[in-house]
Amino acid sequence: MTDTLGMIDLHSHTFASDGELVPAEHARRAEVQGVEVLGITDHADASNVEDCIERVERAKEDAPIRLVSGVEVTHVPPENVERVVGMARDAGADIVVAHGETPVEPVVEGTNRAAIEAGVDILGHPGLISPEDAELAAEQGVRLEITARGGHSLANGHVARVAEETGATLVVNTDSHHPRDFITRDRAVEIARLAGLSHECAVEVVDENPRELLQEKNLL
């Protein structure tokens, strides 16, 4: 099988947080892998959320592919997540991702629920998500992420299973920090399949679900 559609990858990081590249090279490396739309979502809290979004907005003009400006609200105490998400919205973020609870980082318990209640667009690698929180995500239209990133991906099977049981919507993102992290659309489908999804569901998760999100936000 060969790529038939460009990849939409809505979670990645530049040197503005803990990635390696300036946005122009970051976007070019993604383009080579067939990425059509790239979300730059550097780690953010109340101290830098506006700066992160402004950097991406300035980078859009020189990028070889379509960029989407955003942030990943990261390790913010649950009681402050809604405030930081609101700051990102007020600063003009195209999308808002939250750093979910994961088995490989000490994210504070309750972050998944706080991010869903705050109305983030994507809950990033939420490997410790409960069925109750996944059900709320389905009700709120918050997408749950299947990730290509090592470590976080250990819980992809759990995320996929809980999403299927509750009706939550899944997307596949890379959480790219380095040039080698970008993947093709076919690889994204394979990762979704390895999480336990059928081929038909995997294609929907990779091709249709992120496009629907962007269309809802008038970004496509």
Q: Which domains does the chain have, with CATH numbers?
A: 7-216 (3.20.20.140)
> Which stretch of DSSP H or E encloses residue 60?
none
pLDDT tops 70 at residue 15:
yes
- In the prediction, which pLDDT does 3 show? 45
> Is the pTM of the predicted complex or chain greater than 0.95?
yes
- E strand spans, the chain: 7-9, 35-44, 66-73, 95-99, 122-124, 143-147, 170-173
- In the prediction, which pLDDT does 23 show? 96
Q: Cα separation of 220 and 213, whole Å?
A: 9
Cα atoms in the 13 Å half-sphere on the side-chain side of 159: 34
**59-117 pLDDT, tens digit each:** 999 999 999 999 999 999 999 999 999 999 999 999 999 999 999 999 999 999 999 99
**103-136 pLDDT, tens digit each:** 999 999 999 999 999 999 999 999 999 999 999 9
CB-count burial class (<10 Å; 0-12, 13-18, 19+) for 15:
middle
- E strand spans, 133-178: 143-147, 170-173
CB 41 within 8 A of CB 71: yes
